[in-house]
Amino acid sequence: METLLGCTDLGESSSNPSRPGVGPCEDATISPLTRAILRRDFIKGVIASTGAVASTAYLPGGSSLARASAPGITERLLSLHVNGHVRRVDVLPQETLATTLRYKLGLTGTKLGCDRAECGACTVLIDETPHYSCSTLTHRVRGRAITTVEGLEGPNGEVHPVQQGFIDELGPQCGFCTPGQVMSAVALLTSNPHPTREEARAAMAGNLCRCGAYDQYLNGIMRAAGEA
């Protein structure tokens, strides 16, 4: 806990410009210097302003009540790089990324199917690698590029080829696992643009679908990869 609160080893990305994967999703208008300034001023600024999302009312893992003004917890206020934007947010030490995304940043596309790393509905990308956000502490991804399903669309609403593939193949049934399936598939095609169907299946195996739409999802992925 000491490490998490102090965050000595998880500083934000500008101190480690070589960290892979940070670049593509960052807001291009924010230079590293600006980011540093933002960071420095962030805590003071956030405390004084209403610009940050400070609601803690939804936290499954910890209550806001006793902590709101306790000393020594200013590190709760941090910048997250989400979908190409810097989002300022008040995060408890034990808070999961799924909670932060869904209940503080309003990004409800990320779903909670189990909240214990069994189902994959909460899959997001952290520096292009798929992670279960229900089992990732938000404090551990400071400075990392986080991409949720909301971050895939182009500026004019164009969907990602994986999303288009899922539409064309009628991939989703109930749709609840779909955002997680989309994110795992995007990660697959980033690292392996032309997977075999077997490779795609292996890459998707961490995402459950009770409707059993696996065949259609694989069809959608192969279509997105230009293999269908």
Among 25, 59, 98, 225, binds other proteins (CB under 8 A): 59
Three-state secondary structure readout of 68-124: CCCCCCHHHEEEEEECCEEEEEECCCCCEHHHHHHHHCCCCCCCCCCCCCCCCCCEE
Position 179 contacts other proteins (CB under 8 A) = yes
Position 121 contacts other proteins (CB under 8 A) = yes
Q: Is residue 25 within 8 Å of 147, Cβ to Cβ? A: yes
Residue burial 99-113, b: 16+ Cβ < 10 Å; e: rest? bbbbbbbebebbbbb
Among 52, 171, 189, 223, binds other proteins (CB under 8 A): 171
Q: Can you tell me the distance from the alpha carbon of 146 to that of 167, in angstroms, rounded to the nearest whole number? A: 24
Stretch that binds other proteins, among 10-18, 44-52, 136-144, 158-166 (CB under 8 A): 158-166
Residues 86-105 that bind other proteins (CB under 8 A): none
Beta bridge partners of 147: 125
Least distance in angstroms from the C-beta of 174 to other proteins: 3
Residue 35 or 200: the one with the smaller Cβ distance to other proteins is 200
The total of other beta-carbon atoms located within 10 Å of residue 169's CB is 20
Among 109, 130, 143, 161, binds other proteins (CB under 8 A): 109
The total of other beta-carbon atoms located within 10 Å of residue 208's CB is 18
Least distance in angstroms from the C-beta of 11 to other proteins: 28
Stretch that binds other proteins, among 3-11, 25-33, 136-144, 161-169 (CB under 8 A): 161-169
- C-alpha R_g of the chain: 18
Interface residues with other proteins (CB under 8 A) are 56-65, 107-116, 118-119, 121, 148-150, 152-153, 159, 163, 166-167, 169-179, 182, 197-198, 201-202, 204-205, 207-216, 218
